[in-house]
Structure 1
Amino acid sequence: MPATPLSNRRSISPPEPNLGDTGFSNDSGELLDTATERLRYQRFPCGALPGVLARFVTCAAKAIGCDPSLVALPVLAAVATAIGASRRLTIKSGWKVPSIIWATVVGESGSSKTPAYNAAMRPLFTRHARAIRTFEDERAKYEEQVAWWEKRSAEWKREKKSLEQPPEKPTEPTLRREIVSDITIEALAVVMKNSPRGVLLGCDELSAMFGSFGRYKSGGGGNDASHYLSMYSGQSITVDRRTSTPPTLFVPHASLSICGGIQPGILKKSLGSEHIENGLAARFLLAMPPRRPKVWTEDDIPSVVEQSYERLIDKLFALEGQQKEDGSIEPRLVYLTPEAKTEWMDYYNSHGAEQVQLSGALAAAWSKLEETAARLALIFHMVRVASKDPTIEHPDRVDPKSVQSAIRLVSWFKNEARRVYGKLTQGEEAAARDRLIELIEKQGGSIAPWRLAQLKAGCSTEDAKILLQSLVKRGIGRWEWIEATRGPSAREFVLSHSDDLGEGDIPNESDELLDADGLDVLPDELDDSEYLDTEVF
């Protein structure tokens, strides 16, 4: 039912909001946010993404019929993996930032998490299938070479007086993987040893991985969480194995990005106090958009947009690191321009002022979001370099545009952190209030008591009035008189932020999939050459 036109409303003077009762607290009494701020979902800022990514996220979300954030988070993880250990951003001499993103989409079953994840990961799936075929061919040739080697070795041993050197054993091929799913920490170490650029741990349901974080191995070994914490920072890891050869695996730059979905109830159980205290939970970027009904659409992702995204991923995987004198490969360092450094310092100071006001889970999240801005700036810069952005002055110098875009996106993640942590710590009464507010938002931000009684099972009109009045007392909304063309005027409840939602609905349809930051050009109006340039640089 569409919202009542504003011209037909007369506002009823609302009571002064009870400011002491507008926030929700967790078990420790930590104030998370005011009710209206915490419950409000901000539209994902597609315009903060570089052009190729923004268009792909926009078109994929429209084709799937989902919120853009469901596509954007796995896209960020995929791009971060493609850059991998080839680059690091130097903030100052002792602070070098890796291209690593941990992202989790939180939603109930059936909320389109899987289609969005699959769309974002398709280029990595394609590369993985191609790598498997190549490995199988190399393995077949290797087995033939081994048979020949065994035969020649036997002949060499029989010829005891032979002065020839023994035949050289063939080198066994290794499978370089860029994406893995359900995997143990030991198996992951093997994969990363063979894939030094980095790996993406991705799956549409992350519950199994969260469950493994606190699991101790038999024999008193360290738990998985400590290794994951090292891999988030791109540090070296050493994994000891008792029954395998070699017994010790060392990965100098363990670059692991993580992405997947999880249901709210499972997330709440998985990320308990232990992982809040050790900082594991704070490392995940979160998105939990409001649920929306599925509506059929004939839209598909335009092939030119899909191809441009896939070619971008391939270009980023082609980036090479810096070779040292001993032959080892180190990440190539990228620096901030003086103007970008000024942007960064302003952000760093303002972010620090915010963090000092927080405690508990939110303080931990803010501590990691600080560096997230730098990680996103590095990712955005390398995407623009690979896309041949003409405004880039030097491939190893991050400019203010990338930093500003990263800061804008981090602001969105801050709001989501407040929302998600708030929902995870709220009681049943607050959860019921959230569901009521979401229902009103789906009605366009306003609702009459009789309409609420129709939509809510077992609720009478009088019950609806009581429920809506409880929201008014909390300052979440207000009553307004609706001028009727026939019959007496009636009251209608209006959410306090309904004017920002616009008439009709919450961020739900394609009107917001094309962001206001210049992304109002539809893909079929674009020049294909912008997307199909095949050169790496």
Structure 2
Amino acid sequence: MSMGIAQEICNKVMSEVQGIKDTGFPLDAFPEKVQTIILDMVRYENFKVEYLAPAMLSAVSSALGGTYYVRVKGQWITNAALYIIMVGRPGLGKTPPLEAAFQPIRRNDNANMEKFKTDMAAYQNAAKESKGDCGMEKPVLARTLVSDFTPEALLLAHYNSPRGITILVDEIMGMFNSANRYNNGQLIEQLLTAWSGGALDVVRVNNPIPIHIEHPCINMIGTTQTKRMGELMKKGYEENGLLDRILFTLPKVQQLALWTKEEDNSTHHRSASAMEAWQSIISKILTLDYETGEDGTGPKFHIIDMEEEARDEFIASHNATIQRTNAIEDDNMIESRPMKAPVHVARIALILQVLRYACGESHLQFLTKQAMHGAIRLMKYFEDSYCRIRGYVANDACDEPSRELLSTLNDSFTTADALAAGKQLRVTDRTVMNYLKELAKNRLIKKIRQGEYQKTVFETQQMTTSEKSRSVNCNE
């Protein structure tokens, strides 16, 4: 039996033992080597796979930066930047897996900091001795991770680190709450523009040389509590499109696994080995660099295409979304979020392909069908999480009487059905119509055609942490 097959069998057994299937997370979308790392960290560090795996996707994207792009369609290309928010109840363990995933990036930043200190000391000494121009270029600090910043400082950090930067904020609502503190929401505009691949500029009177970033690569990842998602969705980010650009992960089970004495005895060795393996993978990705043009100019990012089978699956997936959108008759019910799916899928597929290369399981010549298939499944998981979050927010926003009416109705119903249910609850027809408006406003139902409705999120009662919600695709 080959090592690869043995590892695959072992991963399947461990996934079964640890109940990964119950989480709904498609762990097998990752390379076998990464699956092993994740399973070890889940077991020996009590991490949730729904937090660790997405954080690792973000870490890979951060390490890759803007060195590789994937062709989406025609001249439409994109890098692998992701915006991710990890959602869950307080104390669920969101931060530890985030820090573990980014530990290799922090080590790289720390090494850059030490080099910067050494170079700056040499520069200052040379300048002092020459009493003027020492002939040396003043060193700048290149770092990937930024946490506390102004919009101008963010672009300066990116300017000094052209490969790319990552906004990593533990409680990310603090960043959004202060987003309008500087220059009327300039940070949000930067995030919107960078995600879409547009150039970024900062021109100031006291700085004669403007900061210009032609091909920005900005990742963003952070955590927040479930109860604060309503606060995020009220900031106008749905209207300006920022919400559509963010991937969300929310565990189905809001409980941590109990510790066991047997696991604790072997925790240090196994978790340390897993972190060493992850460090090795990220280090290999960090060595990937830009290509130099034949005319000596550069650096230029690499562009890779999808193999035919991967592109076929990619197109089929998006065409299914287009057909669902075209079938909607009411313009007010058309969602903008599904139209961002091709970019998300292409970026995740590029990350998976890079991971397979770094694990020695594939190459970087083109995107394979395996990477594309995994990306589509991961995207479905992220959208399922988003739907469940919308369910929590909608239930919190709606009054109990309107939710009670909804609980008595089938998944598809008519106005007449709602009015009949209202009579059973001794509610007037006018009040029932107001309930329907409230439910539609909070996206618990959608209007299919005149007088016909469908639940977008099945009733979830009080949505306590021990209850599981049943939901349909919000974009169907």
Please tell me the TM-score bracket, short chain as reference: 0.7 to 0.9
Say whether residues 1:72 and 2:41 are aligned partners: no
Cα distance in 1, alignment partners of residues 173 and 63 from structure 2 = 24
Output the CA distance in 2 between the equivalents of 1:234 and 1:201.
Answer: 17
Alpha-carbon shift at residue 319 of structure 1 (Å)? 0.9
1:123, CA displacement in angstroms? 0.9
Give the SS at the match of 2:212: strand
**2:160 maps to 1:194:** yes
Alpha carbons of 1:422 and 1:365: their partners in 2 closer, same or farther (altered >3 Å)?
Answer: farther
Deviation at 1:272, TM superposition (A): 1.9
Cα shift at 1:42: 5.0
Q: Contact between 1:237 and 1:251, CA under 8 Å: does it hold in 2?
A: yes
Q: Tell me whether 1:321 sits opposite 2:319 in the alignment.
A: no
Tell me whether 76-85 or 260-269 shows the greater mean CA deviation.
260-269
- Quote the offset at 1:278 in angstroms: 0.7
Match of 2:74 among 93, 117, 120: 93
TM-score (norm 1): 0.65
After superposition, residues 500-519 of structure 1 pair within 5 angstroms as none
> Structure 1's 52 and 240: CA in aligned 2 closer, same or farther, altered over 3 A?
farther
- Where does residue 309 of structure 1 map in the other structure? 278
Residue 125 of structure 2, aligned match among 114, 127, 144: 144
**Structure 2 residue ranges without an equivalent (≥5):** 1-21, 405-456, 461-466, 471-476
Choose between structure 1 and 2: higher helix proportion. 2
Instruction: Tell me which of the two structures has the higher relative contact order, counting C-alpha pairs closer than 8 angstroms and 6 or more residues apart.
Output: 1
Of stretches 48-57 and 336-345 in structure 1, the one that deviates more from structure 2 is 48-57
- CA deviation vs aligned residue, 1:6-44 (integer Å, no higher than 9, x gap): xxxxxxxxxxxxxxxxxxxxxxxxxxxxxxxxxxx8521
Q: Which of 253, 256, 276 is matched with 2:238 structurally?
A: 276
Number of the residue aligned with 1:174: 140
CA contact (8 A) 2:290 2:302 kept: yes
Query: Does structure 1 retain, via aligned residues, the 8 Å contact 2:179–2:185?
Result: no
Q: Distance in 2 between matches of 1:237 and 1:268?
A: 30
Measured in 1, the distance between the counterparts of 2:305 and 2:322 equals: 22
C-alpha distance 52-234 of structure 1, shift in aligned 2 (>3 A): farther
SS at 1:427 equivalent: helix
Number of equivalenced pairs: 381
Report SS of the residue matched to 2:219.
strand
CA distances 1:408-442 after superposition (whole Å, capped 9, x unpaired) = 111111211111122122236789999xxxxxxxx
CA separation of 1:69 and 1:328: change in aligned 2, threshold 3 A: same
Asked if the contact 2:158/2:164 (under 8 Å) is kept, the reply is yes
Instruction: Note if contact 1:210-1:271 (Cα within 8 Å) is conserved in structure 2.
Output: no
Q: Which residue of 1 aligns with 2:31?
A: 50
Taking only aligned residues, the RMSD between alpha carbons, in angstroms, comes to 3.0
Q: Deviations over 1:236-263 (max 9, x none)?
A: 20012343x3452101111011111011
Report sequence identity in percent.
Answer: 24
1:288 to 232, 250, 253: 250
Partners of 2:151 and 2:186 within 8 A in 1: no
Q: Describe the superposition over 1:307-335 as per-residue Cα deviations: whole angstroms up to 9, x where unpaired.
A: 12111111111111122346332211001
Cα displacement (A) at 1:296: 2.1
Matching residue within 149, 169, 176 for 1:203: 169
| Counterpart in the other structure of 1:367 | 339
Gap change, CA 1:216 and 1:108, over 3 Å in 2: same
Match of residue 192 from structure 2: 229
In structure 2, C-alpha distance between the alignment counterparts of 1:348 and 1:475, rounded to whole Å: 25
Distance in 2 between residues matched to 1:361 and 1:224, nearest whole Å: 29
Would the aligned equivalents of 2:58 and 2:219 in 1 still touch at CA under 8 Å? Answer: yes
1:259 and 2:225 correspond: no
- Rounded to whole Å, the distance in 1 between the matches of 2:344 and 2:326 is 18
Q: Distance in 1 between matches of 2:333 and 2:292?
A: 41
Q: Tell me how far apart the structure 2 counterparts of residues 351 and 226 of structure 1 sit (CA, whole Å).
A: 27
Q: 2: CA distance between counterparts of 1:45 and 1:126? A: 29
Residue of structure 2 equivalent to 1:456: none
Per the alignment, in what secondary structure is the counterpart of residue 171 of structure 2?
coil
Q: Which amino acid aligns with 1:223?
A: Q
Aligned to 1:340: 310
Note if contact 2:164-2:218 (Cα within 8 Å) is conserved in structure 1.
yes
Answering whether residue 393 of structure 2 is matched by residue 424 of structure 1, we say yes
TM (norm. structure 2) is: 0.73
Question: Given the alignment of the two structures, is residue 108 of structure 1 paired with residue 89 of structure 2, yes or no?
Answer: yes
Residues 1:400 and 1:207: Cα distance change in structure 2 (over 3 Å): same
Distance 1:357 1:256, change over 3 A: farther
Name the SS for the 1:172 alignment partner: coil
Q: Displacement of 1:144 after TM fit?
A: 0.8
Q: What is the CA deviation profile of residues 32-81 of structure 1, one whole-angstrom value per residue up to 9, with x for unaligned ones?
A: xxxxxxxxx85211111122332222222223324211111211111011
Residues in 2 aligned to 1:409 and 1:347: alpha-carbon distance in whole angstroms: 13
Question: Which aligned pairs between 1:439-450 and structure 2 lie closer than 5 A?
Answer: none
**Contact 1:333–1:396 (CA<8 Å) still a contact in 2?**
no
1:353 to 310, 323, 326: 323
Task: Give the 3 Å change call, closer, same or farther, for CA 222–111 of structure 1 in structure 2.
Answer: closer
Q: Is 1:119 paired with 2:82?
A: no
CA deviation profile, 1:266-324 (whole Å, cap 9, x unmatched): 33213325110111011111111131145224245533322121111111111111223
Give the letter for the 1:315 counterpart. Answer: K
Q: CA deviation at 1:179?
A: 0.8
Structure of higher CA gyration radius: 1
